[in-house]
Structure 1
Amino acid sequence: MPKPNKRQVAIGLLGPMLDSGKGTTRWERWRPTVSLFQHEDLAIDRFELLFEPKFTALKTIVSDDIRSVSPQTEVREHQLHFADAWDFQDVFGGLHDFCRSYAFNPDEEDYLVHITTGTHVAQICLFLLTESRYFPGKLIQTAPPTKWGSGPGSYGVVDLDLSKYDRLASRFDRETRESTSLLKSGIETRSDTFNRLIERIERVAVASKAPILLNGPTGAGKSHLARQIYELKKSRRQIAGPFVEVNCATLRGDGAMSALFGHVKGSFTGAASDRPGLLRAADGGLLFLDEIGELGTDEQAMLLRAIEEKRFLPVGSDKEARSDFQLIAGTNCDLPAAVAGGRFREDLLARINLWTFALPPLRERREDIEPNLTYELERFAQREGVKVAFNREARERFLAFAIGGDATWIGNFRDLNAAVTRMATLAAGGRITVETVAEEVDRLRRQWASTSLRDAGRASDDECLGSVLTNDAMEKIDRFDRVQLAEVIRVCRQSRTLSDAGRTLFAASRAQKAKPNDADRLRKYLARFGLDWEKACEG
């Protein structure tokens, strides 16, 4: 019912069939437009009657009849010109033009859009324009009486704001939760930042066919997430073709073009038969190009055209091939920097950068390690057909190490998966013991230390310091202090927080202090060189 302080306005199309009738016998017919004003519990202050000029005579009769049954209702008449009342484009355009020219005043008036009259096309257009809020109101539909001549029939009002329907809202919330759970493989992740990221990806995945770019370090789960996006779209019947995955880092030389775009027989030495290529294999489905930054510039140019035009030339062919696929690209490198360095095409980056999502490394999601540990054990059981579990103390010890500051998880989920696989394989009687955990922890520490040394070899101390200090500042630091400061900066960049970095750097001496304050010690050390936590983590 309308609010008492607002006027009630109805808008409707004249129905040349249902609203027709002449003479006194017309009152024996059920005429939906007139019946709208015969309900005692529905007071309408103004009616906007839309009609085509060829039905002017009928319009006059209906307008007069409305005034006779509802004298308080003001009737306004509007001509609409439809070349073809069954042409969707023509009807939608005419009604849309009316909406744009009409002076709606929702603060003072409530609007009801009558969708009982007009062609089916017109009714669909009225529904769409109301749903999209061009008509800022509700729908009203009338129905004839159950017995002929027994009154004005009935009416029903539909508010298209679905948030007002508790059961529907609950249903959509449940479907959204199911979709995000699918993207997370059913893992009850606890990181608020990661959960918000997945919710955003879910909205984009079901609403858009545009390319998606997943950015994150190796092992952060880009490939797994791409496959889950595919499964989500497939479950919504938004995609029917296959999931095709390729690591671009494995495509080298002349074979890269052939692998992606295919070739024809005889196009080069060794081309003994036609090859369709991965893009054609992904037709109607989803193509995941991991490490897209490793593609050569020629392949990048071909890929851009394939994305934009759905067409490309196989190697050695003068006939274009077609493929309609959705692209998900993955990378662990800085693509804007690659553009600046001439290694990646700026136009391709612009095309795939519409939806970019950065997957955090595992060390920034330590609260998610425990549910992922359970998930990895379940995967092992499915894969090997053997159920394995930790004893309580072993699980506690592994988790204490895994979420601690000195667990760097350089390989991210690949490291976690490998650790669980090793421990489960060595578990006698299906139980992972404290001894097995201790062995695995030592192994991970040696592995990460070795990786850190290799990384240090790739970036010298001076290169490390040069990313946070000016040349003049570096010249004022003794060589001994340079070595120490460079290592401190490396640890900071591998740690999630100032406290985590402090615990790693002062692991030995902190045990001798009654009240260790690792964060404060590290903060004061950095301040000696004019640095703070944020500055140390740059570069």
Structure 2
Amino acid sequence: MAKKNVAIGFMGTQLDSGLGAGRWEKWRPTVSLVQHEDTLIDRLELFHATKHKSLAQVLAADIANVSPDTVVNLVPMDVADPWDFGEMYGALYDWARGYRFDPVHEQYWAHITTGTHVAQICMFLMVESRFIPGVLLQTAPPKKQQRGSPGSYTLIDLDLSRYDVLAQRFSQAHAEALDFLKSGIHTRNQRFNALIEEIERVAVRSQAPILLTGPTGAGKSHLARRMYELKKSRHQVQGEFVEVNCATLRGDSAASTLFGHKKGAFTGAASERAGLLRTAHQGVLFLDEIGELGLDEQAMLLKAVEEKRFLPMGSDREVSSDFELIAGTNRDLRVDVAQGRFREDLFARINLWAYTLPGLAQRPEDIEPHVDHLLARAAAQSGRAVRFNVEAKARYLQFARSGEALWRGNFRDLLASVTRMATLADGGRISTSLVDAEIQRLRWLWQPQEGARASTVDLDAVLPAGSASTLDLFDRLQLEAVIRVCREASTLSDAGRRLFDQSRAQRTVINDADRLRKYLLKFGLSWETVRQSM
């Protein structure tokens, strides 16, 4: 059994108007709906303002005259200002929430030819969000040579999944955005690719703060800038990308650099300063190493993020700046919050979207595409193409992916390594001898400095008071060895990879950092407390 056709629309006080006999000579959009011989409108839900009720009644009578089988329901809908988006959308929303839709037996056509432009937009949004479970209906007047015709109508289905070409275009745009965030590098690490997938969606859909954590050199700053450039390409930001390393801010200069100051606010403040938050107005502010900010600056930043207003130093008048915040850190801010070094309310505010970027050693499958990318970039900059010999590349990648390669500086170390080989390559070829020399250089780079490793570990100074004396000799010696490795390593993952270098190969799921974290927790320790005890 065919579904009934139900049209929903606003009465046009201009297009649908007319009380005399001459009204039948003009094209009226709502009347035209029922004038198509091949289409029956079973019911019409007609919105109108109460003050236009008499016109609505004439319109309903004319429709009954043309199409006796069409039921017309006159629906009073009064809004104080029909050009106010909030009022109009609210009125339509309230009607839709109370209407008994029956999609099994009826199909709904939302007429968008009549009504104010605001009403048409609201009708579009109601259909797009599926509050009205139907399609859009657009009518058009007849051409001059078709006088007396009801004109034409078009049904527009907003379910984009039904339009393969459009779906492919959206898919292509999504793929291009992912490729852009990864700088065109075809990364293979599943965890990293999934992380970038979500970051892309958040970057283009949200203006909320984003927190990027990860070791130094993992690419936090680079990713933050790419996110900004992606937003700017979508016209979501108009201002600048402003980056500041909070670890370089100390004393009065910290608040002055970020929030600005008035002339004479402190010794040396010879002139007024706007501050970086105001520089980032309508743009993106990237605060790298945000955990290094002092507690006073954290409190000021919280107000600026929440209210878009703050007080420059020495001023009694607030200023405003509407910026989007991306924060970066190589610290576990949860620990800093627990120990009182980072404000809990600020952490809660910037932790809505939090992502941990894995270090290079945690993405061994991505080393090869990064090497290829860096060589291509070096060739573009120097105008001189450089390539590996087959054996040389295999030897370099074997070392680079092994547990021996610590990559403490992450991508900075890799960039330096590739740059050295590309510069020294004779004839544009990186040979095995050049690779061997580079591997020796990296081993030297990552070798602990003389005296850096403590010969003994004072467990009494590391463990909670009195607990060291309760340990068996076996546990004491093992824990001392683990702490030495932790002090030498650059990250928790780095230490875990070195400690579990053999057993990790026998596991289907590798999470060296989690294994080490749980081991330390048995003794009431964390990575941070071990590192701070050095």
TM tier, shorter chain?
0.7 to 0.9
The correspondence for 1:101, drawn from 64, 77, 98, is 98
Q: Per the alignment, do residues 417 and 462 of structure 1 end up closer, same or farther by CA in structure 2, a change over 3 Å counting? A: farther
The 8 Å contact of residues 493 and 537 in structure 1, kept in 2 or not, is answered as no
1:297 to 295, 298, 317: 295
Q: Could you tell me how far apart the structure 2 residues matched to 1:350 and 1:298 are?
A: 17
1:437 shift after superposition: 0.9
Number of the residue aligned with 2:502: 502
Question: What does residue 511 of structure 1 align with?
Answer: none
CA distance in 1, matches of 2:111, 2:180: 41
- Cα distance in structure 2, aligned partners of 1:443 and 1:401: 12
Q: 2:71 maps to what in 1?
A: 74
Cα displacement (A) at 1:316:
2.5
Whole-Å separation in 2 of the counterparts to 1:442 and 1:128: 63
CA spacing shift, 1:400–1:270, aligned 2, 3 Å: same
- Give yes or no for contact 1:388–1:424 (8 Å, CA) kept in 2: yes
Structure 2 Cα separation of the partners of residues 434 and 387 of structure 1: 18
**8 Å CA contact retained: 2:135, 2:158:** yes
Superposed CA offset, 1:425-461 (max 9, x none) = 222233221111111112222333327994x659948
Indicate the RMSD between aligned Cα atoms, in angstroms: 3.3
Deviation digits for residues 342-389 of structure 1 (CA, Å, limit 9, x no counterpart): 101111111111111111111221111111111222333344454322
SS at match of 2:435: helix
Q: Partner of 1:308: helix, strand, or coil?
A: helix
Counterpart of 2:369?
Answer: 371
Match of 2:209 among 197, 207, 211: 211
Go from structure 1 to structure 2 and tell me whether the alpha carbon gap of 1:484 and 1:85 turns closer, same or farther (over 3 Å shift): closer
Aligned residue for 2:121? 124
Distance 2:358 2:461 in 1: 23
Q: CA deviation at 1:239?
A: 1.5
In structure 1, the partner of 2:56 is: 59
The answer on whether the counterparts of 1:144 and 1:153 sit within 8 Å (CA) in structure 2 is yes
Alpha-carbon offset, residue 497 of structure 1 = 7.2
Distance (whole Å) between structure 1 residues aligned to residue 455 and residue 480 of structure 2: 15
- State the distance in 1 between where 2:146 and 2:163 align: 34
1:428 alignment counterpart: 426
For each residue in 1:17-62, what CA deviation from the matched residue of structure 2 results, as whole angstroms up to 9, or x when unmatched? Answer: 2223346554333222122122233233222122222332332232
Paired residues of 1:461 and 1:486 also in contact (CA < 8 A):
no
Residue aligned with 1:186, SS: coil
Q: Which moved more, 1:430-439 or 1:318-327?
A: 318-327
Specify whether residues 537 and 31 from structure 1 end up closer, same or farther in structure 2 by C-alpha distance, changes over 3 A only. Answer: farther
Kindly indicate whether the alpha-carbon contact (under 8 Å) linking 2:460 and 2:468 is maintained by their aligned counterparts in 1. Answer: no
Gap change, CA 1:173 and 1:495, over 3 Å in 2: farther
Matched, 1:144 2:141: yes
Change (3 A) 1:369 1:134: same
Q: Which amino acid is the alignment partner of residue 71 of structure 2?
A: E
Distance 2:130 2:368 in 1: 46
Indicate whether 1:391 and 2:389 are aligned: yes
**Cross-structure match for 1:230:** 228
Residue 307 of structure 1 and its aligned partner are, at CA, apart by: 1.6
* Residues 1:79 and 1:262: Cα distance change in structure 2 (over 3 Å): closer
Q: Name the CA distance, whole Å, in 1 between partners of 2:455 and 2:483.
A: 13
The alpha-carbon distance between structure 1 residues 5 and 444, as it changes in their structure 2 partners (threshold 3 A), is farther
Shift, 1:133, TM fit: 2.1
C-alpha displacement at 1:473, in angstroms?
A: 8.2
Q: Which moved more, 1:490-499 or 1:228-237?
A: 490-499
Deviates more, 1:66-75 or 1:435-444: 66-75
Q: How does 1:337-486 map to 2 (within 5 A)?
A: 337-450=335-448, 454=452, 457=454, 460=457, 462=459, 474-475=471-472, 477=474
Q: How do 1:507-522 and structure 2 match up within 5 A?
A: 519=506
Question: After the TM superposition, which of the residue ranges 495-504 and 346-355 deviates more from structure 2?
Answer: 495-504
Q: Distance in 2 between matches of 1:461 and 1:453?
A: 16
Q: In 2, Cα distance between the equivalents of 1:463 and 1:149?
A: 99
Aligned to 1:71, the other structure's residue is in SS state: coil
Q: TM-score, normalised by structure 2?
A: 0.86
Q: Structure 2 matches for 1:159-308, cutoff 5 A?
A: 159-308=157-306
Does the CA contact (< 8 Å) of 1:214 and 1:330 recur in 2? yes
Given residue 72 of structure 2, which amino acid in structure 1 is its aligned partner?
Answer: V
Q: Hey, what's the Cα distance between the residues in 1 that align with 2:331 and 2:44?
A: 62
SS in 2 for 1:501: coil
Output the CA distance in 2 between the equivalents of 1:478 and 1:158: 72
Letter in 1 for 2:111: H
CA spacing shift, 1:394–1:205, aligned 2, 3 Å: same
**Residue type matched to 1:66 in 2?**
I
Residues 5-27 of structure 1, C-alpha deviations (whole Å, 9 max, x = no match): 53322111222222233465543
Name the amino acid aligned to 1:93: G
TM-score (norm 1): 0.86
Separation in structure 2 between the aligned mates of residue 34 and residue 208 of structure 1, nearest angstrom: 43
Corresponding residue SS for 1:450: coil
Residue identity matched to 1:400: Q
2:403–2:498 CA contact under 8 A, matched in 1: no
Q: Counterpart of 2:502 in structure 1: which amino acid?
A: G
Q: What secondary structure sits across from 1:477 in the alignment?
A: helix
What is the CA distance between 1:217 and its match in structure 2? Answer: 1.0
Whether 2:310 is the aligned partner of 1:312: answer: yes
Partner of 1:156: 154
Distance 1:164 1:500, change over 3 A: farther
Shift of the alpha carbon at 1:209?
Answer: 1.5
The alpha-carbon distance between structure 1 residues 226 and 494, as it changes in their structure 2 partners (threshold 3 A), is: same
Structure 2 equivalent of residue 514 of structure 1? none
8 Å CA contact 2:459, 2:468 repeated in 1: no
Cα deviation, residue 125, structure 1: 2.1
Secondary structure of the residue that 1:190 maps to in structure 2? coil
Aligned residues: 512
